Structure 1
């Protein structure tokens, strides 16, 4: 599956499998930076309330793990 097909709707369906009897609700939306988004979605289960955070990655896909942070990098330039 390509990253562009991994929408938030697809991720919620995969992880929470909401039904009309047990719908999923957006509880919190956070934006950190230009493209960094985090959404908390809750669904009621027989065992209790289930909350999952979904993170938007730079390629537009939504995953349950946060995107990798940009790290400092060093390089060497040779001048002749």
Structure 2
């Protein structure tokens, strides 16, 4: 678990570096496509890991009470 946690932290730091590079006006246009693609890949990997670990972005189930069915409302 600790190793996966450190991997997640590494991904988050990498994501931050990629964000800085992608949104920096000094980044050469020829590099933007590959940087943007990598930014999206890292972002998806972070979301996947957080979902698996029940992180803040994990989907949650909510119980909802249904009202009784009334056919006249259709």
* TM-score in same-fold range (> 0.5): no
TM-score of the two chains, using structure 1 as the length reference? 0.26
TM-score, normalization: structure 2? 0.28
| Bigger helix share | 2
**Higher Rg:** 2
